[in-house]
Amino acid sequence: MSTHDDQGLFLHHITVRFGGLLALDDVSLRVPPGRVVGIIGPNGAGKTTLFNVICGFVAPQSGAITLDGRPLRPRPHRLHRHGIARTLQGVGQFGGLTVLENVQVGQRRKAKAEEAYAALERCGVAEYAGAYPASLPYAKRKRVELARALVARPRILMLDEPAGGLDADEIGWLADLIRDAGTTVLLVEHHMDLVMSVCDEILVLDFGKPIALGTPGEIRTNPKVAEAYLGAAA
């Protein structure tokens, strides 16, 4: 039975080991419907690994995932069935396909050209529909990557470092897109201004351990968080 309190994506005590390395150490998180939840932490903290667990690329040694109260055993090729879409760290487009075709094949059921075009429009890159990705500036390719995730109209949009390599104007545009996405968003990002401006709640990982969970204001003033980042910079 499903109740209001179990709506959303839940991670329950997720632990991942790679050999002797504890990449995720008993991580629990609730991502309620419609919320923007950030995952931050120094390099190697386990952020991408957490995404990979949710997508089924990495199987945790222990722990469980539930979606709206039901167990989720994720498989990468079946994510769309659960309404989950992700963008990759960097850009990963097929060079032999046009921008429009890349967006069409962004989901299992090939999207109609009109749907793909609408997603490109929403991301401000419809003018490139007939071009090949390699001919686009990096920032525009990142937008195509977003269009590719959005075309499936996901309930949960997972973004892994969407601001990487973007200038301030592009990051401003991205912030608006995330705020107006109308879906649940899970955001891994190093760009603190972006994280602080769009997230409702932020989980901080350090060496795989959850060290803080709170609103941007709480995270900004949490001494443990500052310590983790200072340690990483030293």
Ligand X SMILES: Nc1ncnc2c1ncn2[C@@H]1O[C@H](COP(=O)(O)OP(=O)(O)OP(=O)(O)O)[C@@H](O)[C@H]1O
Binding site for Mg ion (CB under 5 A): 47-48
Strands 62-67 and 70-71: antiparallel
Sheet holding 156-160, edge to edge: 84-87, 156-160, 184-188, 36-40, 201-206, 209-214
Q: Which one of ligand X, Mg ion, none is in contact with 43 (Cβ closer than 5 to 8 A by kind)?
A: ligand X
Contact between 190 and 41 (Cβ < 8 Å):
no
Q: Which one of ligand X, Mg ion, none is in contact with 21 (Cβ closer than 5 to 8 A by kind)?
A: ligand X
Distance between CA atoms of 127 and 8, rounded to whole angstroms? Answer: 36
Question: Which CB, 44 or 172, lies closer to Mg ion?
Answer: 44
Stretch that binds ligand X, among 46-54, 93-101, 171-179, 211-219 (CB under 6 A): 46-54
Stretch that binds ligand X, among 38-46, 77-85, 112-120, 222-230 (CB under 6 A): 38-46
Cβ atoms within 10 A of the Cβ of 58, count? 18
Question: Which CB, 33 or 165, lies closer to ligand X?
Answer: 165
Burial of 182 (0-12, 13-18, 19+ CB in 10 A): exposed
118: amino acid identity, one letter? A
Give yes or no for residue 191 binding ligand X (CB under 6 A): no
Stretch that binds ligand X, among 17-25, 121-129, 139-147, 223-231 (CB under 6 A): 17-25
Give yes or no for residue 45 binding ligand X (CB under 6 A): yes
By C-alpha distance, which of 182, 226, 220 is closest to 201?
Answer: 220
Query: What residues are paired with 206 via a beta bridge?
Result: 209
Size of the chain in residues:
234
Question: Which CB, 129 or 188, lies closer to ligand X?
Answer: 188
Supply the minimum distance, in Å, between the C-beta of residue 88 and ligand X. 12
Distance between CA atoms of 98 and 136, rounded to whole angstroms? Answer: 11
Where in 111-170 is the site for ligand X (CB under 6 A)? Answer: none
Of 8, 38, 46, 74, the one binding ligand X (CB under 6 A) is 46
Give yes or no for residue 107 binding ligand X (CB under 6 A): no
Which positions lie near ligand X, rule CB under 6 A? 18, 21, 23, 41, 43-49
